[in-house]
Structure 1
Amino acid sequence: MRNVVYGINLTADGCCDHTKGNGTEDVHEYFTNLFKDADLVVYGRKTYELMVPYWPERAKSLSESVSENEFAKAFDAIDKVVFSTTLVAAGEKTTIFRGNLAEEMTKLKRLPGKKISVGGVNLPSQLIALGLVDEFHFVIHPTFAGEGRRLMDDTKFLKQPELKLVESKVLVSGAIALHYVKQ
């Protein structure tokens, strides 16, 4: 079965709001490498609309820094699934799923292929609560947001997930990348 991998940036006080700053070269490189191990990325509508068309346009123009361009190319190369009941149309290499999240993700996990990357907050929280996420990559940035959304704020777990740390890495920017697997 394919592994579902969740990666997210967090501030030292636990904020996961993308507007709070986290776009250093080393962080883009870290997430680019995660995408290289995946052949599918899964989002909810809100995160999908944050990522597309922004990153595919950057992949075409190559108008950003080297690390951002590499991230854009890696992101653009991956097939995408967006879970949404309201999204009418999606970009290239994207499929919209409107069915049962647990059933559809279980089917995706059973298909042959590389890892499945998931991003955002709402959809991954649901997948984690369902026990469908296998690996976690938390990049903790050396800053305090003081406000903003926190990870798993509204998540109710039937069983609290147990994680095992398999790798930690201090990035040049001072961010710490933590890689956990579900036990």
Structure 2
Amino acid sequence: MDVLAVAAVGVAIVLVGILLLRLHPLLGLLLGSLFVFAATPREVQMATALAADAVEIRGLASGGLLATQVAAAAGDYRLLEDCLQQRTSTKLTLARATPTQMQRAAQRGELSPTNAVWFSVGPQAPPLTRGMRLVAEEDVQRFDQTRWTSLGGKLSAGFAKTFVKLGIPVTMAA
């Protein structure tokens, strides 16, 4: 289901609950938010949760070297696009590039951008291009484990944000 359709149905649930079923507004909002949370596609939830921690590939060099803008932790990574589409992808094991690897790449003139952090990905890496985003394997596993368990936390955080934006001015006006 499209994200806008999910939001529209969620708003309709809130309005029907409050206006037709005479529910308390808080219960109507709770029902609407539960529907939106349950009906939002997994890919959208995963993209929202993992996009902030994704590492973008800024440059590539022969010999299995890739450059990132930030210093990521060494370990197993997957392509974010493959995770979002639920495709199995090859694990990339990132390790900091050794000085020898860096010297060889510098001799070939491949170290561009120069202000990047360079990693070695090994010979079994799938074809990579600039702009691809990598996400840590443990982040993907943590998302799968906590997708439903953090429902209460997500709802309470959402209601807190809404109350800060709307509730305090309404309370002050009353």
Which TM-score applies when normalising by structure 1? 0.24
Q: Which has the larger radius of gyration?
A: 2
> Which one scores higher on RCO, CA 8 angstroms, separation ≥ 6?
1
* Greater strand share, structure number: 1
TM-score, normalising length: structure 2: 0.25
Which has more helix, going by share of residues? 2
